[in-house]
Structure 1
Amino acid sequence: MATQSTIEWTELTWNPTTGCTKVSPGCKNCYAEVMARRLEAMGTPGYEQGFKLSCHESRLRQPMNRKNPLFIL
């Protein structure tokens, strides 16, 4: 979970999943797949599987650990 966001209408971002399943021809030039490959090469936690859809169970309870109410994207 990011500790703060530069997105003007939210305070935090939360991503319990990474990757995707390609479902249409529009997925051929997916920017997120390119980014996932880059993050995997950099050793970024959560991208060990590259672009394969993955649920990170360790991240699922992160919002529950917050003490103050926030708008999380």
Structure 2
Amino acid sequence: MMNKSKIEWCDFTWNPVTGCRHGCPYCYAAKQAKRFSGDVRINKGSSQLRKDENGLYILDNPFKNQVGKVIPDPVGFDR
């Protein structure tokens, strides 16, 4: 779902955490997800994550890495 933007050079925006599946080469959301994901390979093996019936990742609590730091987007842009 996109929201009407008040930014003069932008018509619509969306929350990069929800992502999309278009794979645009200059995607801002994908870059942000990568920046805040940590090591996705390790995170995906964590018991903190589970998938719903649509294959989307579910977090019941904030995701924490091995040293206890909260990772805002533990699976990167994999939706």
TM-score category by the smaller chain?
0.3 to 0.5
Give TM-score scaled by structure 1 length. Answer: 0.34
Q: Which has the higher helix share?
A: 1
Larger RCO (CA under 8 A, 6+ residues apart): 1
Q: Which has the higher strand share?
A: 2
